[in-house]
Amino acid sequence: MDVNPSVFLKRHDTTLMKDLHFQQLVPEISKSQPVSNLPPASSQASSKESTAFIIGLILRGGVILSATITCMGLLLLALTPGGITEHRLVTFPHTLTEVWAGLLGLHPQAVIALQMVLRGFGITM
């Protein structure tokens, strides 16, 4: 494969010229437009990082809550008399009243349905 050195030099010279032109413009822009009312870039970055950290904690908490509720429902399903039967696996409460009544009676399907209700309201993931 033959490489023409003149093509490389032309591209290299163009890039150097753009860099030099940019370096000459930067001081002019900073002198002509004062930006004293803006907070320093480091405080903006730290506030964005803290916001992302808080959002991450909230999302992680929702996932952990969702997994905990589902595991509790599955554990209740396995430990209740009658065990895991086909009828129990397909029978779930369909209204909020049925979910509440099932939670008061410690029905495993109601606990799992509670997790789905919380997910619908955006509380868990």
Answer yes or no: do 19 and 72 share one domain. no
Q: Give the span between the Cα atoms of 112 and 70, in whole angstroms.
A: 5
Q: What is the reported pTM?
A: 0.54
Q: Considering just the CA atoms, what is the radius of gyration of the chain in Å?
A: 31
Q: How many domains does the chain have?
A: 2
| Coil vs helix vs strand at 35 | coil
Q: Does some domain include residue 38?
A: no
| 64 & 121 share domain | yes
Cα of first residue to Cα of last residue in the chain, in angstroms, is: 56
Q: What local confidence, expressed as pLDDT, does residue 49 receive? A: 85
CA distance to 1, 12, 18, 19, 23, per residue, from 6 (Å): 15, 10, 18, 20, 26
The domain containing residue 25 runs over which residues?
A: 1-33
pLDDT over threshold 90, residue 60: yes
pLDDT above 60: residue 8:
no
Residue 40 is assigned to a structural domain of this protein? no
| Residue 33: per-residue pLDDT | 54
**Residues 26, 69 share a domain:** no
The verdict on residue 115 lying in a domain is yes
Compute the average pLDDT of residues 15-25: 55
For residue 81, pLDDT over 60 is answered with yes
- pLDDT of res. 84: 76
Q: Which backbone phi and psi does 40 adopt, to 5 degrees? A: -60, 150
22-39: pLDDT as tens digits: 555 555 554 555 555 555
64 shares its domain with 29? no
Q: 27 and 62: one domain?
A: no
Residue pair 46/39 in contact by the 8 Å Cβ criterion? no
Residue type for position 99 = V
Q: Domain for residue 100, yes or no?
A: yes
Per-residue pLDDT at 43 exceeds 90: no
At 57 the pLDDT is 93
